[in-house]
Each structure stands twice: as C-alpha cells, then as structure tokens.
Amino acid sequence: MCGIVGAIGSLDFRSYLLNGLHKLEYRGYDSCGVYISNGKNHGLYKSIGTVDSLESKVPLNLSFNPHVGIAHTRWATHGGVTLSNCHPVYSSDHRIMLVHNGVIENFESIRNFLIEKGISFSGNTDSEVIANLLSFILSIDNSMTKAIERMMQELNGSYALAIIDTYDTNKLYFAKNLSPLLIGKGEGANYLASDQIPMADITHEFIDLKDGQYGYMSKDDIHLFQNGEEISFEFVSRSSENLDVSLNGYEHYMLKEIEETPSCIERLIKNYIFRKKYTFDKKLLRVIERSTEIIFLACGTSYHASLVAVDILRARGKIANAYIASEFAYHPVIMTDNPLFIIISQSGETADIIKCLPFITDNAYHLLTITNNRYSSLARKAEYYLNLYSGVEVSVASTKVYQSELVLLLMLFDAIYMDLNLIESLNKELLVLKDIINRKEEIKPIAKELANYEHCFILGRGLDYDSALEAALKIKEVTYIHASAVQAGELKHGPIALVSQDFPSLAFISEEKTAHQMRNGFQEVKARGGKVFVISSKSLAEENDSFVVLDSTIYLAPMAKVMVAQYLTYFITLEKGFNVDKPRNLAKSVTVE
C-alpha cells in the first residue's frame, strides 16, 4: 500500500509535501518522491528508503515558486524497489506525471498494447502503465477529463491517482477506485491525500471521493465527475481529534503507543459506558443475541484479538469462529443459518477483508464492523459500526489497538451476557498495565538475552496461546527473530525436536488449571538444553520466572501478557539496531491482496 499527497495554489510545497509524506509513511516506506512545477520550471526528486532520505534531495530554497505538486511514499507491489519504479512516474512523452496507490490487475495487457504502439517504459510498475495509457488517449482526444474517464474504463483494479498534465499545470487532476482519496478545501489552494492526516492542520473541509469519481482542482475551485458527467458535491467536516501523530517526547511511536494503552481503554469506557450502563445500539445487541453464530473476519493482530473473544463466547455456549480474511475470501466455510459477521480492522482498509464483503452482503448476513478509522472504506460499508477510539497508530506493528479491540469485544458481549463483571475488572486491569509500564526496565535483561537468538517458541495454553500467537507476530515482524507460537501441550508431539541451547522459549502462565502442566513442559525443554523465559501471573509465579505481572481477571490476561511481549519486541529491536517503527518489507495497512 502507498501514500499519496498533492496540492495546487499558493503554499509552501516543500513543507506540505514532505511533511505529508512523513505522516503517510505508515502506508509504506520502500521509496518516495516529489514533483513540483510552476508551468515553466519543475523539479522531480526521488529516493529509495524513507522520507528522511528524500528531504536532503529537495532543495531548501527552490529556484522557482511552484504552484502545483504531488508526492508519494511507496510499498512495492509491482516492480522492485528501484529509482525507476519510484513515484512520481511519468509517461514516455513526459506529458503526464502521476502518483498512484493501488494495484492494476490488467496492467500487463495494457502495457503490451502500448508497447505495440511504440511507447517505451523506463520502469516495470503498473503505475507507469497508467501514465502512458493516459498520454496515449490524450494523443487521440486532447480533453483531459474525457481522457481520464476513458482511462478508467480500461483499468481493472484499485487506484487513487493524483495527476499533473505538464501542458496545463493550472489544474491538479485526480481519480479514485477502491483505494482511498480525500480532497481538502483550502484558502487560495486545494489539497488531496490518501487520508486526512497530511491536511489535518490545514483544513477540516473534505470531499471523501467515492469509487469511480474523478475530476480536477485549481487553486480556487474543484470539479467532480462520474460516468462522464460533472456532479455536485458537498464538503464534509471532519475534526482532527485523535489525529495526534506527534511523538510527544518519545523516541519511537511504538513505545508511545504501548504506553497509550491505558488511555485507550479509558476512552473506550468513556465512549461506551454511561453511569455503569453500556450504550451500545439496542438493535445491534438484539442481532447478536438472535444470531446463531458469531463469525470474526480479520488479519494479523486484529485476528489474534478476535481469538480471545471466540474463547470467551464459546465458554458461554455461543457458537463462535474466527477466520483469517484472506482464507475466508476464497474458502468460505460451513456456517449456521443466521450468523453475525464481525469484521475487525484497525485501518479499515485491509484488502483481504474488503474481499470478503460481497459474500456477506450478497447473502444479506448481518455485519458489525470495528475499526480505528470511522472514515475508512470498511467503516463506510458497515451495517453496524463501532469505533475503537485508539487514536492514530503510526508504528507499523500494532500494539495499543490489540488491547483496545479485545476490550471493545468483551464490552459488547458483557452488554449481553452481563456476567463478566467487566467494568470492575477493567479498572483493575488498568492497574496491571500501569504496573508493567512502571517496571518496563525489568524487561530489558530478558530482551538482551533473547536478542542473541534467531529462533524461539512462544508457549501457552488456552488464552495464553492466543497471547502467544500475538507475541510471536510482534517478535517476528519487528525483531526478525523467527518466533513461533506453540500450544504447550503440543510441544512433545514434534516441535520439541527443534529445542536446543540455541532455541529458547518464552512462556505465558495465566491459568491455574494448566499452570502445573506448563511447568512440567518446561522441564522437558530444559532437559534438552532449551532456556525458558516464563512470564507469569503473580498468584502462579515461581522464583525463577523472568517477569511476573499482577493478577488479571482471567479473560483479560492476554492484555498484560501481550503488553510484556510488546515491550520485549521493542527492547530486542533496539538491542539489534533495527527500525522499530518501520520494519523492513511491511506497511501499516495492507490495501492490496
């Protein structure tokens, strides 16, 4: 997934475009670039890597005063991470400059057609095909809006496009299909970006483009088209609350966001509980009660949060299942006749989940969507919607959102079953989390040791296995240590073959009923030279455990154990000198399948 940003009019383009890219780097950071022009002079600056590396290439004092500019930060889908594949890309006649977020499914056939017409390519991206297709259409009919409409008829796939026609730089063109694109209304200038954040300090008036819409903006006005006709539009106001992307004195977003977890839980309590009563939509609660099954669809961390909810629901006799969205999209499962689907997605833009929507809507199944962005694609398509109120999560590895998703799900089910005593348990859990934050320095020695290994197991049973899955993802995706979650009882059925002095284990103990078996298992590991780092709840702790957390109400235990794993991930990564907030090969929101 990529981030695009653009503007036209009177503004400090260097500052707006580079700051905008910094704020969009959570969408990808393989490479980045800027194009600016005043019609006579122009500048094209590109860099492999993060925006920091691009800053030094864009002159602090430009030799001309641009009035239009576009910029892009890339997460490579088609074509390697090379300067020729770095956006902004341009047509072979250098007429069209554009930036693109999305994936064009039929780019190869279009590319072959254009090559047959004698058009050359400098890179191998689908985005460059768009630029050359548009330029080719313009060579037949020189009307830009008609050419864009014609281009959209040819393209299959997702795109958010910002386009500059270098023959007329007094307009900034745009087009949108499946990938998000927001237009922002300014004074003496107009703006666009993949989301609100780059424009939050400039305007609160936006046009949230819908699929199939396209048009252009000048410094004074905006024109919107759909199906060849100009259409009217209204600006919608969006507050910039919860869009704080400052580090607030922290060295890294990951540490900041781990330590925001308690305030996220407090915001959920504030937004969904009033005078000790839940404020959920009564219709939604009835739909949940009447459903014959709850089916969670999610990916990554959000999927791991839903596993805990599945365990809680099943313990109350409710049929519940969680599926990885990318699997469900192609391999639907046998289900009961009246399921409620619950989609969980921090970004609300995950393509693997969007792929599942037609199955749900075509069968008229009920759908609840939970995201951290109420303006996201998934939120906009929801039948019922709940916001996570977690604030922007910038670090690519999800932390505070895991606990937020878990708590919101438990609140929802507590509103029905009313047997979790959740409100009291949450206030107690806040103390558990704050205790871990206060004692985080004690986690560093464990991290220092674990940093020396290339592989490790994360062991758990029951809810602790749910925590182990999330812990393994965190450690894998940020420290690059190959961490695997194993149901502790399964170790002796095969995985223990890997245990050696070079292959340690991290283990969670939160449940009394399995604590004894867990510790027996550790003996089997130690007998084979494997080190075991035990993260235990206080009432189950033993002398040599590596880190002990205060007791949680059992179904909240993953909150604390996963926070310890998040800190471990953070400290191991610092120890190894890797990029905490932008791990290699990843993007914060995966809007491609």
Residues 467-526 that bind ligand AGP (CB under 6 A): 477
Q: Mask of contacts with ligand AGP, 295-334, x by CB under 6 A?
A: ----xxxx--------------------------------
Task: Establish if 345 lies at the interface with ligand AGP (CB under 6 A).
Answer: yes
Chain-centre distance of CA 392, in angstroms? 10
- C-alpha atoms less than 13 angstroms from C-alpha of 22 in its C-beta half-sphere: 13
Q: Which stretch binds ligand AGP (CB under 6 A): 144-152, 394-402, 486-494, 517-525?
A: 394-402
The answer to whether 588 and 197 are in contact (CB under 8 A) is no
Q: Is 396 in the site for ligand AGP (CB under 6 A)?
A: yes
Q: String of b and e for 238-261 (b: at least 16 CB within 10 Å)?
A: beeeeeebeeeeeebbbbbbbbbb
Nearer to ligand AGP, 54 or 397 (CB): 397
The nearer residue to ligand AGP, 25 or 477, going by C-beta atoms, is 477
Instruction: Report the amino acid identity of residue 76.
Output: A
Q: State which residue, 261 or 346, has the beta carbon closest to ligand AGP.
A: 346
In whole angstroms, the minimum distance from the beta carbon of 514 to ligand AGP comes to 27
307 token code pair:
């596993």
CB 413 within 8 A of CB 309: yes
Q: Is 589 in the site for ligand AGP (CB under 6 A)?
A: yes
Which residue, chain included where needed, has tokens 């014959």?
Answer: 292
Contact segment (CB under 6 A) with ligand AGP among 85-93, 223-231, 310-318, 390-398 equals 390-398
Q: How far is the CB of 345 from ligand AGP (least distance, A)?
A: 3
Phi, psi of 156 (to 5 degrees): -110, 125
- Nearest distance, CB of residue 214 and ligand AGP, angstroms: 27
Select 85 or 589, whichever has its Cβ closest to ligand AGP: 589
Amino acid identity at 438: N
In the complex, the smallest distance separating the C-beta of residue 579 from ligand AGP, rounded to whole angstroms, is 14
**Of residues 222 and 475, the one with the C-beta less far from ligand AGP:** 475
Please name the amino acid found at residue 450: L
Q: Which is nearer to ligand AGP, 85 or 345 (CB)?
A: 345
CB of 231 to ligand AGP, least distance (A): 31
Largest CA distance in the chain: 79
Q: Of these, 194, 196, 261, 346, which contacts ligand AGP (CB under 6 A)?
A: 346
- Whether 9 contacts 184, CB under 8 Å: no
Instruction: Assess contact for 145 and 214: CB atoms under 8 A.
Output: yes
Task: Give the residue numbers marked as catalytic.
Answer: 2, 588
Identify which of residues 154 and 327 has a Cβ nearer to ligand AGP in the complex.
327
386 DSSP assignment: E
- Which bin fits 585, alpha (ψ -120 to 50), beta or left (φ > 0)? left
Instruction: Give just the sign of the alpha carbon dihedral 508, 514, 516, 519.
Output: negative
Q: Could you give the 3-state DSSP secondary structure of residue 360?
A: helix
Q: Which residue has the tokens 């000198």?
A: 577
Q: Using CA atoms, how far apart are residues 89 and 334, in angstroms rounded to an integer? A: 46
Q: Shortest gap between Cβ of 198 and ligand AGP (angstroms)?
A: 19
Mark the segment that binds ligand AGP (CB under 6 A) among 13-21, 207-215, 294-302, 307-315. Answer: 294-302
Which residue's CB atom is positioned nearest to ligand AGP? 300
Q: Does 590 contact ligand AGP by CB under 6 A?
A: yes
394 is a site residue for ligand AGP (CB under 6 A)? no
DSSP strand E in 91-169: where?
96-101, 159-165
Q: Which stretch binds ligand AGP (CB under 6 A): 209-217, 219-227, 396-404, 543-551?
A: 396-404
Rule CB under 6 A: say whether 390 interacts with ligand AGP.
Answer: no
**DSSP E strand stretches across 461-559:** 482-487, 505-509, 532-537, 547-549
Judged on CB neighbours under 10 Å (0-12, 13-18, 19+), 495 is: middle
For residue 20, state whether it binds ligand AGP (rule: CB under 6 A): no
Instruction: Give the tokens for residue 70.
Output: 């576009």
Q: Is 28 in the site for ligand AGP (CB under 6 A)?
A: no
- State in angstroms the smallest separation of the CB of 346 from ligand AGP: 4
Shortest Å, Cβ 373 to ligand AGP: 9
CB 296 → ligand AGP: shortest distance, Å?
12
Residue 2 to residues 16, 181, 290, 361, 519: CA-CA distances in angstroms? 17, 12, 41, 28, 46
Query: Is 350 or 387 the residue whose CB approaches ligand AGP more closely?
Result: 350
**Of these, 169, 261, 326, 347, which contacts ligand AGP (CB under 6 A)?**
347
Task: Please tell me the count of residues contacting ligand AGP according to CB under 6 A.
Answer: 14
Before 66, cis peptide (omega within 30)? no
**Site residues for ligand AGP per CB under 6 A:** 299-302, 345-347, 350, 396-398, 477, 589-590
